[in-house]
Structure 1
Amino acid sequence: MTPSTTVRSPLRLYGRDDELATLGNLLALSRRGEGGALVVAAPPGLGRTALLCAAAEAHRARGPVLWAMAASAERAVPYSGLGALLGVGPAGASPAAPPTGITPDALAGRLREFADGGPLLVCVDDAHAWDAASRAALAFVARRPGAGSGIAFLLSASDGTAFAGLPTLHLAPLGEVAASALLDRLTSGSEGLDPVVRAELLREAGGNPRLLAGLTGRLTPDQLAGRTPLPWPLPGGEAVLSAHAERLDDLPDRTRALLLLAAAAQEHEPEGAGADALLLMRTGTRAGLPRVFLDRALFDGTGTGGLLQRSGSRVHFAHPLAARAVLHHAPWARRRAAHELLATLLAEAGDRDGADDAPARDG
């Protein structure tokens, strides 16, 4: 984890005027001497870090910023998160060893010392990746900043579950107008962007600004201008897909197996159609997954870490990039096996339908 009180000035944020206004309200509370907290929740690549940077930049002229970025590799080290946050004070003190057993009251006291009577902004990026002890202490203090504290807590997380009870701002993918404006910015130095290439980049990025930047940055001027064909699959999305896939490592094996089947099933369907729930039930059963687990995952909507959602007879991933991340994360042999199993069941279903439709023969 890297503590810091220096945050780079962010680039212009596209399509986030409402979100920036919400952050401005939080900072205004801090300047008036009131406490407040906000969790910015979004899948990787939608700009939660950029929003924290923007808030830190806006606050810096009025008071200190405590900044910590979590690292999932240190989740098993108790209080390592608080060590990152408190290791460097506003005046640039020397890093301290991670505190052990610090109470929420003690944490609140340290933060009041940093604030020194003025407004303080506490930013924790990827706070969901903190160790459990640090998350619990931070959440307790953020829920009770105290009247007159002037401390604002701004946390980013992959979703709102790690800090339930705190006000949460959920980021949606960029709309078409904002994504198109960002694409214009990203390609402003090129000779020209072919309309077909523009449409393909916007479709592939799905409103994810980090993904759009990654895809655009890997294309040559001739490819952007439409003079040479685009590679397939488009390169540049590996970092975002890997970040999406990180949360898969914490899921049980049977959940990851079902997610792979669901992602593979979607590839046999029109874009946005999801997967057939009954087909997934049959496929999961054939793959040896417990029936009780499949019932919960496919019909009750539980047991998949919030990644799968039921809509009528269809099952969809909560975020479009999650399905691609599942496929990207799975070894090739497992992906092939999932597709082969689905193909077998689809062929069997076709054979049954054909038998049912066949005319009866006499004698």
Structure 2
Amino acid sequence: MSSLPAGWYKDPADTTTQRYWDGEGWLGEAIPADAVPPAGPPPVEAEPPVAPPPVVAPQPQPYATPPSPPPGQPVYGPPPGWHQPPPPGWQQPPPGWHQPPPPHGWQQPPPPHGWQQPPPPQGGWQQPPPAWAYPQPPHAYVMPVPQARPHGMLLAGLGQRLAARLIDIAVVLLLNIVINGWFVYQWWQEFRPIYTHYVDQVMAGVEPDVLEPTGRMQTLQMTVIVIATLLWLLYEAPMTSSRGQTLGKMLMGIKVVGVDSTEPIGFRRGFSRWAQLGMWTLFWWCLVGLVIQFLDCLSPTFDPRLRQAWHDKAASTVVVAVPRGATQTVEAAPRGDIPGGPQ
């Protein structure tokens, strides 16, 4: 069963039309791709009334008892307690009714000339099961699951997202060089005598002392990490909240939108999206933050349907491609434009 929810999507069999997908297959007639679909599934067309078949008196015929299958062979038949339903219009014959005898002189017609009884099937043949034993498909034909298009737009490619993230990292790194550079220089001035003494001991063949940071080094280190976290927050969260694009996303032609609307997601959701990834910067000192951020950046590959990263799921957002000059040609229905429905 497909995980794509019900809604209106482009028909993979004819991309110039759109049809309603109910989660398992296509329903209803196709409509043009640029038409506004109804808010829900297409109406079910009433079938024309079928004239009842003429009433025909049943003519019971003698049936031969089928031969029993060989031992060990499976026996196919209706389930226990099943009875053949009577045809429409059939009535129970009155008591005492008997099959009328054939006309005088009637004989069984002979078989065609040269006809012979067909030989029995070879060993290993089995009686096929009746038609009711095969499951019936719920739809007339099976089509591939359509690709999710939030709000009628294509999902951003993984390469585009990676390139945009690398550009944003470079921008934040430049900001840290400008603002955090003094603190990093002070930390190096504090660490250089310790490092020089350690190298001298190694060159002299003496067992070196353990490198232990001073209290001022630890304070400077935490200051650098906190400032780096704040710079990342001030760079990414406001831009994502107001326009859905950082500098990297603008250059790569992608955008962050909510799964429920194309309106700006607002600062609350923008901060929630950034915090799922950026707050782990405070744990760089123990390397746990770097590992979790690395896995978060890889998480879109775990969601082949919407390519949502963990920070996208936290804010109910998706990243879509908005190349320059592109226009949206299909206005989706309330559920059709949001795979999964409103969050």
TM-score normalized by structure 1? 0.20
Q: Name the structure with the higher helix share.
A: 1
TM-score normalized by structure 2? 0.21
The higher-RCO structure (CA 8 Å, 6+ apart) is 2
The higher radius of gyration belongs to 2
